[in-house]
Structure 1
Amino acid sequence: MSHSTKMLPQDFFCRSVTTLAEELLGKVLIYEQGGQRKQAIITETEAYGGIDDAASHAHKGKTPRNWPMYEQGGYSYVYLIYGMHHCFNISAGDKGEGGAVLIRSVTTLPDEHVLTGPGRVGKFFGFTRAQSGYKMTEQKSYIWVEDWGYTLENVQQATRVGITKATDKMWRYLGTIARR
């Protein structure tokens, strides 16, 4: 693993889920395993809060499945939906708060393929539930986020999609990569 000085520090993730969801736009998600490295620019996110957010996996409290949401910001949380799609999240806030940011869309590097939908993101990286619980801010981690200086334009805030509860929250953030 070759982590650079661009790796985001712990304090970047230890803030509100909505702030983290917006600030992750343009950052590069990296996964390195078995000598293979995959990386992509984050272009769409959704915030999920703790017990006060009825759409959140943390809404009913801490479980063996959602425990990474209750760690301090910067832990990976991967879950399976529809029995076939692995969705990747990053915990936010302080330990015990129970929040995470879902990565909904990315643009792959270096080939710049746009992948929309959390299932496609999980498939591209090859994530499974085995990648849940990684502390992404440690040098020994296989999953981490870096700031390469990308900015997004036409950034929008919208309601979350694919849920049936708390559908009014404007907690989805998306944009397009600004050309340098």
Structure 2
Amino acid sequence: MGKEIKGDSPHFGKGDSPLFRGFYDRDTIEVAHDLLGKHLVHVDGDVRRVARIVEVEAYLGPHDLAAHSSKGLTPRTRVMFGPPGHAYVYLIYGMHWCVNVVTQEEGHASAVLLRALEPVRNVTLRTQGPGLLTKAMGIDGRLNGHDLLSRDLHIVDPGPEKISIVRRPRIGVDYAGHWAKRLLRFYIRGNAYVSRP
């Protein structure tokens, strides 16, 4: 079981306030579920981009053969081994940035990948896929290790919402043996911005 959340309410940081650290310092699958419907906010100069999180993937730590941390602590995975509530941003195929949120206690090395977003404000490019959403939100490697409790990059809770969550295997992890079949991709049923059903 995950840790009990301590705070004013189970909906940490309502409105424009970032989610509290305790939101991220819980079981990774619980955090993945609870991120669905939350809003990712990136303030870049005078532009405030906002998008709703509609699809995620959970990576459970070094024992999860699909997780970067399964290769151990490296310069690339250092942030993943760090404290919860930080952005783990890395480059794939030499051209696309991906953004994750680090979860659980420091050293656990788990994270949730953001796979798709639904535009809310000042987001005009495509957001159906991890490499597309970072481009649309203006997120790149300069934000690797960034504290998600900061003003310029954070996640907020827009308020209670009833959603139905679909569970599927993660995408692009065929190399991970039996871990490739685990149902660790979660998305909002019926949402048009999901990257793949």
SS at match of 1:45: strand
Unpaired runs of 5+ residues, structure 2, are: 1-13, 192-197
State the one-letter code of the partner of 1:105: A
- Whole-Å separation in 2 of the counterparts to 1:40 and 1:96: 29
Q: CA deviation at 1:40?
A: 0.4
Q: Match for 2:137 among 105, 125, 150?
A: 125
In the aligned structure 2, how far is the partner of 1:36 from the partner of 1:94? 33
Q: Is the 8 Å Cα contact of residues 150 and 177 (structure 1) preserved in structure 2?
A: no
Identity among equivalent positions (%) equals 32
Q: What's the Cα RMSD here?
A: 2.1
The equivalent of 1:171 in structure 2 is 184
Moved over 3 A (4+): 3-6, 110-114
Instruction: State the AA in 2 paired with 1:14.
Output: D
Match of 2:86 in 1: 75
Distance 1:32 1:110, change over 3 A: closer
Q: Aligned letter for 1:7?
A: P
Q: 1:101 to 1:173 in 2, by over 3 A?
A: same
CA-to-aligned-CA distance 1:47-86 (integer Å, 9 cap, x gap): 0121100000111211111111112210001111111110
Select which of 160, 164, 167 maps to 2:170. 160
Residue 115 of structure 1 deviates from its aligned partner by: 2.2
Alpha-carbon distance in structure 2 between the residues aligned to 1:76 and 1:83: 19
**Structure in which a larger fraction of residues adopt strand:** 1
**1:53 aligns to what?**
64
Q: Which residue of 107, 131, 149 maps to 1:137?
A: 149
TM norm structure 2: 0.81
Q: Is 2:8 the partner of 1:36?
A: no
Per-residue deviation, 1:150 = 5.6
Matched residues, number? 174
Q: Kindly indicate whether residue 73 of structure 2 is the aligned counterpart of residue 62 of structure 1.
A: yes
Distance 2:40 2:190 in 1: 15
Structure 1 spans left out of the alignment, 5+ residues = none
Structure 1 letter corresponding to 2:163: E
- Could you tell me which amino acid in structure 2 is paired with residue 119 of structure 1? G
Measured in 2, the distance between the counterparts of 1:6 and 1:67 equals: 27
How far the C-alpha of 1:151 sits from its partner, in A, is 2.7
Quote the residue 1:104 is aligned against. 115
> Does the residue aligned with 2:154 lie in a helix, a strand or coil?
strand
Say whether the 8 Å CA contact 1:43–1:174 is kept in structure 2: yes
The yes-or-no answer on 1:19 pairing with 2:9 is: no
